[in-house]
Amino acid sequence: MVSIFKAIESLFLDYLFLPFDALRSMDNWWASNALNWFFMSIGAAAMIYWMLQLKSFNDSGEENKDVSAHSYI
């Protein structure tokens, strides 16, 4: 049973985390944080897309905004 956990540890530490170790040891701050900026740009694009979708549904009047639209209100 212990060998399974040792194998998982070896997989992550010896193989999967090598790119992150390389990023950590870089001297250039911008290059080290390029992955973070990439994920932040994906999040920002997703938020903008979501807000535009909400605006389009709001403008088309599809949503029932009546007070009794939901039974729990």
Buried b (16+ CB within 10 A) or exposed e, 33-46: eeeeeeeeeeeeee
Per-residue pLDDT of the chain (73 residues; tens, 9 = 90+): 889 999 999 999 999 999 888 888 888 888 888 888 999 999 999 999 999 999 998 898 777 667 675 666 5
Compute the distance between CA of residue 25 and CA of residue 48 in angstroms, rounded to an integer: 34
Report whether 60 contacts 68 (CB < 8 A): no
DSSP state of 60: H
Report whether 23 contacts 32 (CB < 8 A): yes
| Beta strands in the chain, from DSSP E residues, in sequence order | none
In the chain, domain spans: 2-60
pLDDT digits (tens, 9 = 90+) for 51-67: 999 999 889 877 766 76
